[in-house]
Structure 1
Amino acid sequence: MNMSRPPSSFLQLKENDTGLIKCQNVIILSATNDDELEKQWSCLLELSNTNKILVPMAPFVTKQLQTTLSDIEIAQPLSKICSEFPDVCIGCYRTSRTGQCIITFNGKDEERTDSAVEKLCHLFHPSAFYEIMK
């Protein structure tokens, strides 16, 4: 019987049976329960501090708007904003079939993310959207 072979870039990160595996730029936590996950997460944090395996990056900025506007009303303006702000990930979903629409803006640059939110808000009447605070 042949077993699959890991790629040449496969690397076991720590020898002490934590189950952390790195393959190119992906780190796999193979935990099957909370205790194992906590152990692997602690190990990963320790490795990131000592071996510089993980490079710290700026966190994502998330803004959420809620509206009662229909999908048809917001689709074209939202599409335009997506093309104007390619560095901001924009998505939307309904809370239910007839519920409010939640529009989410995720980006690395807070100023750009805020600009995308403001741009959408300025395309509609002032009370069309309100921001969801987390």
Structure 2
Amino acid sequence: MESSRRLYIDQEHPIVNRSALSFARAATKAAEEAGLGRDLVELINVRCSQMNACPACLKAHVPQLVRAGLDSVKIAVIPSWRDSEIFTPEERAVLEVAELVTDLPQPRDAHERYEEAAAVLTPEQLSAATWVAAAINTFNRISIVSGHPVR
């Protein structure tokens, strides 16, 4: 194999990739059934993808976030959401979950931050948001390791 050629692991092991896709679909379905709108699901996907610097996932999920109804100002401010008052309590809660799952802070800090999200989200929503974040983090890693191009 040439050193400049990237291995697309999703294509090398398609059955594993199909399982990852099923996992992501199940997480999204759980979120919808828990009452999290598509906008909140895509907000999680975008924030995790920003934190992981995954261009392929950002290219896929930013347009989906726009279609789900989040306005361009909020999308532009996502990286500094903590310093803004434009996000709803639900948006803030799922952004917190997205960052917790992506960055994995120390357990004591994680507990306090998780409790902040739990004050807004139901247990079912909190669990589903966590699964959505875990799923997109999986795809961020698949895309980054594979070097999926963004055209």
TM-score over 0.5 (shorter chain):
no
Specify the TM-score bucket, using the shorter chain as the normaliser: under 0.3
TM-score w.r.t. structure 2 length?
0.22
Question: Which structure has more RCO (C-alpha within 8 Å, separation ≥ 6)?
Answer: 2
Higher helix share: 2
TM-score w.r.t. structure 1 length?
0.24
Rg larger in structure: 1
